[in-house]
Structure 1
Amino acid sequence: MDSSEIVVTTVRVQLAKQNKTQKQLAEEIGMDPTSFSRLMVGKRDWTVKILDKMARPLGFHSSAALFKILSTPTFVAA
Structure 2
Amino acid sequence: MLIDCDTCAVRGAACGGCMLSALLDTPAERADLTGDERRAIETFARAGFDVEVISEPARPRLRLMPGGRRRRHVA
Shorter-chain TM-score above 0.5: no
Q: Which has the higher helix share?
A: 1
* Greater C-alpha radius of gyration: 2
TM-score bucket (shorter structure): under 0.3
Give TM-score scaled by structure 2 length.
Answer: 0.24
TM-score by length of 1: 0.24
